[in-house]
Amino acid sequence: MRITAMKAALVTTAVAVLVCTSVLMTGCGQRENPVTPGFAQFAPPYQQPLGFTSLEGNALRDGKSRIISVYTPPGYAKKGEGPPYPVLYLLHDFGYDHKQFEIYGLTTLANDLLAKGEIEPMLIVTVDASNRFGLGMYANSEVCGNYEDLIVPELIRLVEVNFNAHTEGGRQARAIGGLGFGGQAAMSFAIKRSDLFSSASAMNAPLAYAGDGQTTEGLRGFFKYFFVENQVTAGDYSAYAAVRPKELRSITTMLFALAAAYSPNQDLQYLRPWTVRYMIPGFNDIVYFDLPFDHRMYIEEPVWQRWMEHDARTLFAANRHALDSVDVYIDAAQEDQYGFQLQTALFVQDLEVAGTVDYEYHTYTGTAEIPADHESLVGTRLAALLQFHSARLAQPLQPPPIR
């Protein structure tokens, strides 16, 4: 049958109508993109180098300008523009700096937890407390500078002045935690300054420097590695005296860092064979500090006692009620190559004996592929630590009501 031009036009028109209808059904206009500032996960923490007076003139010639890194939650309101936030101070370990927790994905993790409602908004502050030996050990020292003062009060003051940190909340708005020697320092700060912090945490931290002589020798167990690492025969004084810091994370360097922080000897009143004369590379300055063992591998008790003044277990023994008002979180990797889990267990025993401390104690093991060593699984543990502190920091902190 022949199709007339009229009928062809009719078909064409019908097709055109259908096509237009379909296009309208599927949509052809510009779709609206969501209005968003972007993934908060990838907004980095605030980074700002600040000059710390605590480190002015330190004999090691390390810079006083230190970078602080402040995680701010998505939608962070600046000071005066919104309710203030509580603050968690995280102290890094020996051999690292303020970026250590970012290695474990702190920013991403915090945003994920926040998005899931598993933590509340808070500021998380880390500061570069490293020095040329790897760490200032968060102690005041004539050699290293005053790293204890750097945290308390200087860092707290700087954060509370420059950020929307809750100052009215006092200790209820502050928490402190850390990893390794940072955890040790966090616990020490909590014991010494429980008026400043309402919760404290320590991950894989050496909390009993002296050990118990049975399960662990504590830090004293490391002394022999000083000789092993440097191939020094016990009794060979010249070889002992010639030892200098090795690579950043070696036991030797760690012992130098501890000695410079805990047993400086700048006034030279007690210059002994175990006093290290250390010329600062690039300068003509010499600094002096004491090792707690001599060339025969004998413990030098007076020096060791100076170290023990910084020991968390010792501090707690001197003030059994220091942590009564501080919630404590401790975890320990069971394959820690430094054996810190054994020190932690001793500290936890003391908490248990005291009977007045509200604490959580977690141990964890790894897998055949990934043993739970000092650093390997920290990223997976960090979430629990953030949740612990978040649950204890009042959220959100509102300005006090008008009376």
Partner 1 sequence: MKHGYRKLLVGFAAVMILATTASAAGFSVYGVGARARAMGGAFRAVADDWSAAYWNPAGLAYLQKNELDVTMLVTNPRPAYTPEAPTSYLGWGFNIKGGGERYPDDRMLPFPTFSGFVRVPWVTGLTLGAAIYWAQDVNTIWDLYTIPDNYNATVTLPEQNYRVDLDVWDFHPTLAKELIKDKLSAGVGLSVQRGDLVFRRMYAFANPWGTPYNVPPFDRLLGTMQYKADGFGVGGNAGLLFKVNDQFTVGLTGQTPVTVKLNGYSDMEIIFPTNRGLKEQDTTYSAYFQGGFEADRRPFKMDLELPGALGLGVAYRPDDRWLLAADIAMTFWSQMEEWRFRFEGGGMAFHAKGIEPLTEFTMPMNWDDQFQFSLGAQYQMRENLILRGGYGFDQTAVPDETVLPYLPDYNSRHRLNAGVSLLLNRFELAGQVSGAFSGTRTVTRISDLNRDGQFDNFPGEYKTSQFELLLSTIYRF
Q: 26 or 367, CB closer to partner 1?
A: 26
Q: According to CB under 8 A, which one of 13, 44, 244, 286 is a site residue for partner 1?
A: 44
Q: Quick one: which segment of 101-109, 190-198, 216-224, 347-355 binds partner 1 (CB under 8 A)?
A: 101-109
Q: Quick one: which segment of 99-107, 182-190, 287-295, 370-378 binds partner 1 (CB under 8 A)?
A: 99-107
Residue 1, token pair as written in the block = 């049958």
370 binds partner 1 (CB under 8 A): no
Residue 131, token pair as written in the block = 């020095």
69 contacts 46 by C-beta, under 8 angstroms? yes
Q: 111 or 341, CB closer to partner 1?
A: 111
The size of the interface with partner 1 (CB under 8 A), counted in residues, is 52
312 contacts 347 by C-beta, under 8 angstroms? yes
Q: Is the dihedral of CA 379, 122, 177, 140 positive or negative?
A: positive
Q: Quick one: which segment of 22-30, 86-94, 224-232, 387-395 binds partner 1 (CB under 8 A)?
A: 22-30
Nearest to 178 by CA among 197, 200, 194, 195: 200
42 binds partner 1 (CB under 8 A): yes
206 binds partner 1 (CB under 8 A): no
Q: For residue 50, what are the contacts with CB-CB under 8 A and spacing of at least 6?
A: 65, 66, 67, 68, 158
6 binds partner 1 (CB under 8 A): no
Q: Quick one: three-class SS letters along 201-233?
A: EEECCCCCCCCCCCCCCHHHHHHHHHHHHCCCC
270 binds partner 1 (CB under 8 A): no
Q: According to CB under 8 A, which one of 6, 35, 268, 368 is a site residue for partner 1?
A: 35
178 contacts 205 by C-beta, under 8 angstroms? yes
Residue 29, token pair as written in the block = 């206009």
Q: In the bound complex, what is the minimum distance in angstroms from residue 92's beta carbon to partner 1?
A: 14
Which residues contribute to the site for partner 1 (CB under 8 A)? 1-3, 5, 7-8, 10-12, 14-15, 18-19, 21-23, 25-50, 65, 67, 69, 99, 102, 105, 107-108, 111-112
